[in-house]
Structure 1
Amino acid sequence: MTRIVVVDNHGQFTHLEQRALRDLDIETEIIDNETPPAAIEADGIVLSGGPDMDRIGSAPEYLDLDVPVLGICLGMQLIAAELGGRVDSGDYGGYADVTVDIEDETDPLVGSLFPETRVWASHADEVKTLPEGFTRTGKSDVCEIEAMSDPDRDLYGVQWHPEVAHTEEGEAVFENFLEICERRG
Protein backbone atom coordinates (compact mmCIF):
# COMPACT_ATOMS: atom_id res chain seq x y z
CA MET A 1 0.00 0.00 0.00
CA THR A 2 1.22 3.49 -0.83
CA ARG A 3 2.21 5.51 2.22
CA ILE A 4 2.06 9.31 2.14
CA VAL A 5 2.91 11.36 5.22
CA VAL A 6 1.59 14.84 5.93
CA VAL A 7 4.21 17.14 7.47
CA ASP A 8 2.63 19.39 10.08
CA ASN A 9 3.80 22.96 9.54
CA HIS A 10 1.28 24.14 12.17
CA GLY A 11 -1.46 24.89 9.65
CA GLN A 12 -5.12 24.98 10.54
CA PHE A 13 -6.09 22.44 7.83
CA THR A 14 -3.36 19.80 8.32
CA HIS A 15 -5.82 17.26 9.74
CA LEU A 16 -8.04 17.74 6.65
CA GLU A 17 -5.09 16.91 4.38
CA GLN A 18 -4.60 13.65 6.24
CA ARG A 19 -8.33 12.90 6.06
CA ALA A 20 -8.41 13.55 2.29
CA LEU A 21 -5.62 11.01 1.84
CA ARG A 22 -7.21 8.50 4.20
CA ASP A 23 -10.47 8.81 2.23
CA LEU A 24 -8.49 7.58 -0.81
CA ASP A 25 -7.48 4.45 1.16
CA ILE A 26 -3.91 5.65 1.49
CA GLU A 27 -1.80 4.72 4.48
CA THR A 28 -1.12 8.12 6.01
CA GLU A 29 -0.17 9.89 9.19
CA ILE A 30 0.67 13.39 10.31
CA ILE A 31 4.28 13.85 11.33
CA ASP A 32 5.86 16.77 13.14
CA ASN A 33 8.09 18.95 10.97
CA GLU A 34 10.95 18.37 13.41
CA THR A 35 11.05 14.66 12.47
CA PRO A 36 14.57 13.75 11.28
CA PRO A 37 14.58 12.95 7.54
CA ALA A 38 16.12 9.52 8.21
CA ALA A 39 13.06 8.59 10.30
CA ILE A 40 10.59 9.18 7.47
CA GLU A 41 9.42 6.10 5.60
CA ALA A 42 7.03 7.18 2.88
CA ASP A 43 6.28 6.94 -0.83
CA GLY A 44 5.30 10.61 -0.87
CA ILE A 45 5.25 13.70 1.33
CA VAL A 46 2.66 16.46 1.66
CA LEU A 47 4.06 19.66 3.14
CA SER A 48 1.12 21.28 4.88
CA GLY A 49 0.26 24.91 5.05
CA GLY A 50 1.17 26.93 8.09
CA PRO A 51 1.44 30.39 9.60
CA ASP A 52 4.99 31.37 8.66
CA MET A 53 8.38 30.28 7.34
CA ASP A 54 9.96 30.62 10.80
CA ARG A 55 8.22 27.43 11.96
CA ILE A 56 9.10 24.96 9.18
CA GLY A 57 11.49 22.86 11.26
CA SER A 58 13.31 20.18 9.27
CA ALA A 59 10.84 20.31 6.35
CA PRO A 60 13.38 21.72 3.83
CA GLU A 61 15.50 18.58 4.30
CA TYR A 62 12.58 16.40 3.15
CA LEU A 63 13.06 17.70 -0.39
CA ASP A 64 16.20 15.55 -0.61
CA LEU A 65 14.48 12.24 0.25
CA ASP A 66 13.90 11.28 -3.42
CA VAL A 67 10.14 10.82 -3.04
CA PRO A 68 7.41 12.97 -4.60
CA VAL A 69 6.54 16.08 -2.61
CA LEU A 70 3.35 18.14 -2.74
CA GLY A 71 3.55 21.54 -1.08
CA ILE A 72 0.27 23.17 -0.10
CA CYS A 73 0.25 26.96 0.47
CA LEU A 74 3.19 27.46 2.88
CA GLY A 75 4.48 24.07 1.73
CA MET A 76 4.68 25.38 -1.84
CA GLN A 77 6.38 28.55 -0.64
CA LEU A 78 8.87 26.48 1.34
CA ILE A 79 9.79 24.46 -1.78
CA ALA A 80 10.24 27.64 -3.82
CA ALA A 81 12.33 29.42 -1.19
CA GLU A 82 14.58 26.42 -0.55
CA LEU A 83 15.27 25.80 -4.23
CA GLY A 84 16.11 29.35 -5.26
CA GLY A 85 12.72 30.91 -5.97
CA ARG A 86 11.38 34.02 -4.31
CA VAL A 87 8.47 34.31 -1.87
CA ASP A 88 6.98 37.63 -0.83
CA SER A 89 3.75 39.17 0.43
CA GLY A 90 0.76 38.84 -1.83
CA ASP A 91 -1.18 41.85 -3.05
CA TYR A 92 -4.54 40.33 -2.20
CA GLY A 93 -3.92 39.14 1.37
CA GLY A 94 -6.24 36.70 3.12
CA TYR A 95 -8.43 33.79 2.13
CA ALA A 96 -10.63 34.00 -0.94
CA ASP A 97 -12.56 31.91 -3.44
CA VAL A 98 -10.48 32.15 -6.62
CA THR A 99 -10.69 30.84 -10.18
CA VAL A 100 -7.35 29.32 -11.19
CA ASP A 101 -6.47 29.03 -14.88
CA ILE A 102 -4.64 25.74 -15.42
CA GLU A 103 -1.94 26.30 -18.01
CA ASP A 104 -0.75 22.78 -18.79
CA GLU A 105 -3.32 20.05 -19.32
CA THR A 106 -0.52 17.45 -19.38
CA ASP A 107 0.79 18.37 -15.91
CA PRO A 108 0.66 15.26 -13.68
CA LEU A 109 -0.66 17.16 -10.65
CA VAL A 110 -3.15 19.75 -11.92
CA GLY A 111 -3.53 18.99 -15.64
CA SER A 112 -6.76 17.08 -15.06
CA LEU A 113 -8.32 20.33 -13.76
CA PHE A 114 -7.78 22.09 -17.14
CA PRO A 115 -8.92 24.66 -18.22
CA GLU A 116 -9.84 26.15 -14.82
CA THR A 117 -10.91 25.30 -11.31
CA ARG A 118 -12.40 27.12 -8.32
CA VAL A 119 -10.28 27.02 -5.17
CA TRP A 120 -10.01 28.37 -1.65
CA ALA A 121 -6.64 30.04 -1.16
CA SER A 122 -4.73 32.37 1.10
CA HIS A 123 -2.60 34.99 -0.61
CA ALA A 124 -0.89 36.55 2.40
CA ASP A 125 2.39 35.23 0.95
CA GLU A 126 3.01 33.91 -2.55
CA VAL A 127 5.72 32.51 -4.77
CA LYS A 128 6.86 35.47 -6.86
CA THR A 129 9.70 33.81 -8.82
CA LEU A 130 9.85 30.12 -9.70
CA PRO A 131 12.88 28.06 -8.73
CA GLU A 132 15.01 26.66 -11.54
CA GLY A 133 13.46 23.58 -13.14
CA PHE A 134 9.86 24.53 -12.27
CA THR A 135 7.09 25.65 -14.57
CA ARG A 136 4.02 27.64 -13.65
CA THR A 137 0.99 25.40 -14.11
CA GLY A 138 -1.71 27.68 -12.68
CA LYS A 139 -2.40 31.38 -12.28
CA SER A 140 -5.30 33.61 -11.25
CA ASP A 141 -6.38 37.23 -11.30
CA VAL A 142 -4.91 37.70 -7.80
CA CYS A 143 -1.76 35.54 -8.02
CA GLU A 144 0.65 34.96 -10.90
CA ILE A 145 1.83 31.56 -9.55
CA GLU A 146 -1.06 29.51 -8.14
CA ALA A 147 0.58 26.16 -9.00
CA MET A 148 4.06 24.99 -9.99
CA SER A 149 5.58 21.70 -11.05
CA ASP A 150 8.94 20.06 -11.57
CA PRO A 151 7.97 16.60 -12.88
CA ASP A 152 11.61 15.60 -13.36
CA ARG A 153 12.10 15.75 -9.58
CA ASP A 154 8.43 15.09 -8.71
CA LEU A 155 8.16 18.32 -6.75
CA TYR A 156 4.81 20.11 -6.93
CA GLY A 157 3.07 23.00 -5.25
CA VAL A 158 -0.34 24.63 -5.09
CA GLN A 159 -1.09 27.96 -3.44
CA TRP A 160 -4.61 26.80 -2.67
CA HIS A 161 -6.01 24.29 -0.17
CA PRO A 162 -7.27 21.18 -2.00
CA GLU A 163 -8.34 19.65 1.32
CA VAL A 164 -11.16 22.11 2.10
CA ALA A 165 -14.77 21.83 0.94
CA HIS A 166 -14.64 25.26 -0.77
CA THR A 167 -12.15 23.89 -3.33
CA GLU A 168 -14.23 22.27 -6.09
CA GLU A 169 -11.82 19.60 -7.36
CA GLY A 170 -9.53 19.20 -4.38
CA GLU A 171 -9.86 15.42 -4.24
CA ALA A 172 -8.52 15.22 -7.80
CA VAL A 173 -5.29 16.92 -6.68
CA PHE A 174 -4.77 14.24 -4.03
CA GLU A 175 -5.72 11.47 -6.48
CA ASN A 176 -3.21 12.82 -9.00
CA PHE A 177 -0.51 13.03 -6.33
CA LEU A 178 -1.25 9.43 -5.36
CA GLU A 179 -0.74 8.40 -9.01
CA ILE A 180 2.58 10.24 -9.08
CA CYS A 181 3.70 8.40 -5.93
CA GLU A 182 2.53 5.01 -7.24
CA ARG A 183 4.33 5.57 -10.55
CA ARG A 184 7.56 6.20 -8.63
CA GLY A 185 7.01 3.24 -6.30
Structure 2
Amino acid sequence: MTRIVVIDLHGQFTHLERRALRDIGVDTEIVSAETPADEVDADGIVLSGGPDMDRVGNAPDYLDGDAPVLGICLGMQLIASELDGAVGSGNYGGYADVDVEIVDDEDPLVGSLAPETRVWASHADEVTELPEGFDRTATSDVCGIEAMADPDAGLYGVQWHPEVAHTERGEEVFENFVAICESA
Protein backbone atom coordinates (compact mmCIF):
# COMPACT_ATOMS: atom_id res chain seq x y z
CA MET A 1 0.00 0.00 0.00
CA THR A 2 1.22 3.46 -0.88
CA ARG A 3 2.32 5.50 2.14
CA ILE A 4 2.08 9.30 2.04
CA VAL A 5 3.00 11.41 5.05
CA VAL A 6 1.47 14.85 5.66
CA ILE A 7 3.94 17.28 7.23
CA ASP A 8 1.98 19.53 9.58
CA LEU A 9 2.74 23.19 8.95
CA HIS A 10 0.01 24.15 11.43
CA GLY A 11 -2.77 24.75 8.90
CA GLN A 12 -6.41 24.57 9.83
CA PHE A 13 -7.11 21.95 7.11
CA THR A 14 -4.15 19.59 7.73
CA HIS A 15 -6.42 16.89 9.17
CA LEU A 16 -8.54 17.07 6.01
CA GLU A 17 -5.47 16.40 3.85
CA ARG A 18 -4.83 13.21 5.81
CA ARG A 19 -8.48 12.24 5.60
CA ALA A 20 -8.61 12.81 1.83
CA LEU A 21 -5.64 10.50 1.37
CA ARG A 22 -7.03 7.89 3.73
CA ASP A 23 -10.39 7.98 1.94
CA ILE A 24 -8.72 7.01 -1.36
CA GLY A 25 -6.96 4.05 0.24
CA VAL A 26 -3.59 5.50 1.15
CA ASP A 27 -1.65 4.61 4.31
CA THR A 28 -1.15 8.06 5.79
CA GLU A 29 -0.37 9.97 8.95
CA ILE A 30 0.29 13.52 10.04
CA VAL A 31 3.86 14.17 11.18
CA SER A 32 5.16 17.22 13.03
CA ALA A 33 7.24 19.64 10.99
CA GLU A 34 9.89 19.22 13.70
CA THR A 35 10.41 15.57 12.70
CA PRO A 36 13.75 15.09 10.90
CA ALA A 37 13.24 14.04 7.29
CA ASP A 38 15.55 11.03 7.67
CA GLU A 39 13.17 9.59 10.29
CA VAL A 40 10.23 9.41 7.87
CA ASP A 41 9.74 6.52 5.47
CA ALA A 42 7.15 7.35 2.82
CA ASP A 43 6.37 7.00 -0.89
CA GLY A 44 5.25 10.64 -0.97
CA ILE A 45 5.21 13.79 1.14
CA VAL A 46 2.51 16.44 1.45
CA LEU A 47 3.59 19.78 2.87
CA SER A 48 0.38 21.12 4.39
CA GLY A 49 -1.00 24.59 4.34
CA GLY A 50 -0.25 26.80 7.31
CA PRO A 51 -0.27 30.33 8.69
CA ASP A 52 3.33 31.44 8.20
CA MET A 53 6.83 30.52 7.08
CA ASP A 54 8.25 30.97 10.59
CA ARG A 55 6.85 27.63 11.79
CA VAL A 56 7.99 25.21 9.07
CA GLY A 57 10.58 23.40 11.23
CA ASN A 58 12.42 20.72 9.27
CA ALA A 59 9.97 20.78 6.33
CA PRO A 60 12.56 22.17 3.86
CA ASP A 61 14.65 19.01 4.37
CA TYR A 62 11.89 16.89 2.80
CA LEU A 63 12.60 18.55 -0.56
CA ASP A 64 15.95 16.73 -0.73
CA GLY A 65 14.54 13.20 -0.39
CA ASP A 66 13.65 10.63 -3.03
CA ALA A 67 9.87 10.80 -2.49
CA PRO A 68 7.68 13.14 -4.57
CA VAL A 69 6.45 16.21 -2.69
CA LEU A 70 3.12 18.03 -3.01
CA GLY A 71 3.01 21.49 -1.44
CA ILE A 72 -0.42 22.87 -0.63
CA CYS A 73 -0.75 26.66 -0.18
CA LEU A 74 2.04 27.43 2.36
CA GLY A 75 3.66 24.13 1.31
CA MET A 76 3.89 25.39 -2.28
CA GLN A 77 5.25 28.72 -1.07
CA LEU A 78 7.86 26.87 0.99
CA ILE A 79 9.01 24.95 -2.08
CA ALA A 80 9.34 28.17 -4.08
CA SER A 81 11.10 30.03 -1.28
CA GLU A 82 13.61 27.25 -0.60
CA LEU A 83 14.48 26.79 -4.28
CA ASP A 84 15.10 30.47 -5.04
CA GLY A 85 11.68 31.34 -6.40
CA ALA A 86 9.81 34.24 -4.83
CA VAL A 87 6.80 34.57 -2.53
CA GLY A 88 4.95 37.80 -1.90
CA SER A 89 1.68 39.24 -0.74
CA GLY A 90 -1.25 38.51 -2.97
CA ASN A 91 -3.66 41.13 -4.23
CA TYR A 92 -6.54 39.21 -2.71
CA GLY A 93 -6.44 38.07 0.91
CA GLY A 94 -8.73 35.57 2.60
CA TYR A 95 -10.41 32.46 1.32
CA ALA A 96 -12.60 32.50 -1.78
CA ASP A 97 -13.88 30.38 -4.65
CA VAL A 98 -11.58 30.87 -7.62
CA ASP A 99 -11.86 29.72 -11.24
CA VAL A 100 -8.49 28.22 -12.15
CA GLU A 101 -7.28 27.73 -15.73
CA ILE A 102 -5.04 24.71 -16.27
CA VAL A 103 -2.28 25.87 -18.62
CA ASP A 104 -0.46 22.53 -18.92
CA ASP A 105 -2.83 19.65 -19.62
CA GLU A 106 0.15 17.24 -19.69
CA ASP A 107 1.07 17.96 -16.06
CA PRO A 108 0.69 14.73 -14.04
CA LEU A 109 -0.76 16.54 -11.01
CA VAL A 110 -3.32 19.00 -12.40
CA GLY A 111 -3.41 18.31 -16.16
CA SER A 112 -6.47 16.07 -15.86
CA LEU A 113 -8.45 19.06 -14.51
CA ALA A 114 -8.10 20.95 -17.84
CA PRO A 115 -9.33 23.22 -19.16
CA GLU A 116 -10.45 24.74 -15.84
CA THR A 117 -11.70 23.96 -12.37
CA ARG A 118 -13.23 25.78 -9.40
CA VAL A 119 -11.18 25.76 -6.21
CA TRP A 120 -11.11 27.14 -2.65
CA ALA A 121 -7.97 29.16 -2.06
CA SER A 122 -6.32 31.79 0.08
CA HIS A 123 -4.17 34.37 -1.64
CA ALA A 124 -2.85 36.41 1.27
CA ASP A 125 0.59 35.15 0.17
CA GLU A 126 1.46 33.45 -3.09
CA VAL A 127 4.31 32.37 -5.32
CA THR A 128 5.28 35.37 -7.46
CA GLU A 129 8.30 33.88 -9.27
CA LEU A 130 8.87 30.24 -10.19
CA PRO A 131 12.02 28.47 -9.03
CA GLU A 132 14.39 27.33 -11.78
CA GLY A 133 13.20 24.13 -13.44
CA PHE A 134 9.53 24.67 -12.58
CA ASP A 135 6.65 25.32 -14.97
CA ARG A 136 3.47 27.20 -14.18
CA THR A 137 0.69 24.64 -14.59
CA ALA A 138 -2.34 26.70 -13.55
CA THR A 139 -3.33 30.36 -13.29
CA SER A 140 -6.33 32.53 -12.42
CA ASP A 141 -7.50 36.13 -12.53
CA VAL A 142 -6.56 36.33 -8.85
CA CYS A 143 -3.12 34.70 -8.94
CA GLY A 144 -0.61 34.28 -11.75
CA ILE A 145 0.82 31.01 -10.38
CA GLU A 146 -2.00 28.84 -9.01
CA ALA A 147 0.03 25.64 -9.52
CA MET A 148 3.60 24.73 -10.42
CA ALA A 149 5.57 21.58 -11.15
CA ASP A 150 9.04 20.21 -11.69
CA PRO A 151 8.25 16.57 -12.55
CA ASP A 152 11.95 15.73 -13.00
CA ALA A 153 12.55 16.69 -9.36
CA GLY A 154 9.23 15.21 -8.19
CA LEU A 155 8.08 18.55 -6.79
CA TYR A 156 4.55 19.92 -7.22
CA GLY A 157 2.54 22.73 -5.68
CA VAL A 158 -0.99 24.09 -5.68
CA GLN A 159 -2.05 27.41 -4.17
CA TRP A 160 -5.54 26.06 -3.51
CA HIS A 161 -6.82 23.53 -0.99
CA PRO A 162 -7.78 20.25 -2.73
CA GLU A 163 -8.79 18.76 0.64
CA VAL A 164 -11.85 20.95 1.24
CA ALA A 165 -15.34 20.27 -0.07
CA HIS A 166 -15.52 23.68 -1.83
CA THR A 167 -12.81 22.54 -4.29
CA GLU A 168 -14.65 20.78 -7.12
CA ARG A 169 -12.13 18.10 -8.08
CA GLY A 170 -9.82 18.02 -5.09
CA GLU A 171 -9.92 14.25 -4.72
CA GLU A 172 -8.64 13.96 -8.27
CA VAL A 173 -5.57 16.03 -7.34
CA PHE A 174 -4.80 13.60 -4.51
CA GLU A 175 -5.42 10.58 -6.79
CA ASN A 176 -3.02 12.08 -9.34
CA PHE A 177 -0.40 12.62 -6.64
CA VAL A 178 -0.77 9.00 -5.50
CA ALA A 179 -0.19 7.89 -9.12
CA ILE A 180 2.95 10.08 -9.25
CA CYS A 181 4.20 8.47 -6.02
CA GLU A 182 3.48 4.95 -7.25
CA SER A 183 5.38 5.51 -10.48
CA ALA A 184 8.40 7.19 -8.86
TM beyond 0.5: yes
Unpaired segments of 5 or more residues in structure 2? Answer: none
Shift of 1:152: 0.4
Corresponding residue number in structure 1 for 2:99: 99
2:145 maps to which residue? 145
SS state of the match for residue 93, structure 1?
Answer: coil
How many pairs are equivalent?
184
Structure 1 match to 2:170: 170
Letter in 2 for 1:4: I
Q: Which residue of 1 aligns with 2:58?
A: 58
Question: 1:103-133, CA deviations, whole angstroms, 9 ceiling, x for partnerless residues?
Answer: 0111000000000000000000000000000
Q: Which residue pairs with 1:34 in the alignment?
A: 34
Corresponding residue number in structure 2 for 1:8: 8
Instruction: Give the C-alpha shift of residue 170 in structure 1.
Output: 0.1
Q: In structure 2, what residue type is equivalent to 1:110?
A: V
Q: Which amino acid aligns with 1:31?
A: V
* TM-score of the pair, normalised by structure 1: 0.99
Q: Distance in 2 between matches of 1:129 and 1:55?
A: 22
Give the residue type in structure 1 aligned to 2:28.
T
| 1:179 correspondence with 2:179 | yes
Deviations for 1:1-35, whole angstroms, at most 9, x for unmatched residues? 11000000000000000000000110000000000
Percent identity over paired residues:
75
Provide the C-alpha distance between the structure 1 equivalents of 2:109 and 2:61, rounded to a whole number of angstroms. Answer: 22
> Deviating runs (4+, > 6 A) in structure 1?
none
CA drift of 1:66 comes to 1.4
d(CA) in 1 for partners of 2:26, 2:76: 22
Gaps of 5+ in 1: none
* 1:75 maps to 2:75: yes
- TM-score, with normalisation over the residues of structure 2? 0.99
Where do 1:123-162 residues align within 5 Å? 123-162=123-162
Q: Does the residue aligned with 1:91 lie in a helix, a strand or coil?
A: coil
